[in-house]
Amino acid sequence: MTKKLIHSSRIIINVVITMKVFVSVDLEGLPFIVTGEHLFVKGALYSEARKIATEITAVAAECLHDNGFEEVIVADSHGPMVTLIPEELPEYTTLIRGFPRPLAMISEAKSCDAAVFLGYHAKAGTAHATFDHTYSSSSIDEVRINGTPASEFLLNAYALGYYDIPVILVAGDEKLLEDDVEKFAPWIERVVFKRSLSRFSAVSPSMKKIKDDLKLGISNAIKKLENGEITPLKLEDSVEFIVRFLGSEMADVAELLPFVERLDGKTIKYNADNIIEGYKIFELLVMAAPHLYPYTMLR
């Protein structure tokens, strides 16, 4: 993407810097995805959702590559994280699949120079937002980071900021873009994939227009990055997480950790030395919650 000249008293050495971009792909914020049948491996429309996700990811990867990123690291980031169709992605992409894995949606991003989020959705409790949730619709009612209600965008952007990686573009549900992205990182390029009418209904433009908008958005984002107009979203080192679960039994389990404080029936709090540590603890709590299901059938 860039070439740097190193000068000495006798020679000039040309050093080509290989640029890497990280692409995190979720499903709920993608266009045309409106029913639970799109979201689950055994869903009647899951194959359609996989095709949509892969097609959009391939377009983004191609545009990023054409604009100078030599390597495109793609993180399949929905559910069991096996949504994307590997053989339909360009040869210059590297695909991260499967769950659980460290830092889930941003696993292996540490060595990248920039990040792109595709198919991202609004946080739990957002009105008129398709599949609004934060990380787990089966266990998490709200997550606050240093007092701020956090979406998956905010959680992942803060974690990338710890490694000085800027998010240059977010594409997904209009509500997320209008709320969290514009509020906390207005310099990030935004592409609307859908305008939600309810939790299970949305309006999307044609696939051709979506692709054109995405290509334009990526080109604009890279120009901003090159001009120094985009910066990482960062937190202070010490981070407070407040997590409200959907059920009190989930807070019962979280409270077993000695550093967790119980605030009320469904809410716990803990502090971490940094956002990465806090993210990993949160991921553990999310994974522990579903294992309680056999004991909560009375709900």
Helices 152-162 & 275-288, crossing angle to 10 degrees?
140
Q: How far is 7 from 162, CA to CA, in rounded Å?
A: 32
Q: What pLDDT shows up at residue 295?
A: 44
Q: What pLDDT shows up at residue 237?
A: 84
Mean pLDDT of 232-246: 95
pLDDT tens digits, one per residue of 29-68 = 999 999 999 999 999 999 999 999 999 999 999 999 999 9
* 231 against 8, higher pLDDT: 231
- What is the Cα Rg of the chain in Å? 20
**Multiple choice CATH, 18-134+152-226, 3.40.640.10, 3.30.530.20, 3.40.50.10780, 3.90.1010.10:** 3.40.50.10780
**pTM (2 d.p.):** 0.92
The mean of the pLDDT values for the chain is: 92
pLDDT tens digits, one per residue of 100-139 = 999 999 999 999 999 999 999 999 999 999 999 999 999 9
Q: Of the ranges 93-97, 180-184, 291-295, which one carries the lowest mean pLDDT score? A: 291-295
Q: What pLDDT shows up at residue 12?
A: 44
Percentage of residues in the chain having pLDDT higher than 90: 88
Q: What pLDDT shows up at residue 290?
A: 66
Q: Which pLDDT band, with edges at 50, 70 and 90, does 294 fall under?
A: very low
- Given the structure tokens 């603890």, which residue do they identify? 281
Q: What pLDDT shows up at residue 206?
A: 98
Residue 14 has pLDDT above 90, yes or no: no
Q: What pLDDT shows up at residue 28?
A: 97
Q: 282-287: which pairs have CB atoms within 8 A and are 24 or more residues apart?
A: 282/135, 282/143, 282/155, 282/241, 282/243, 283/100, 283/103, 283/104, 285/243, 285/250, 285/253, 285/254, 286/135, 286/136, 286/139, 286/140, 287/100
Answer yes or no: are the C-beta atoms of 37 and 22 closer than 8 Å.
Answer: no
Residue 245 has pLDDT above 70, yes or no: yes
Peptide bond into 100 cis (omega under 30): yes
Q: What pLDDT shows up at residue 299?
A: 37
Residue 2 has pLDDT above 50, yes or no: no
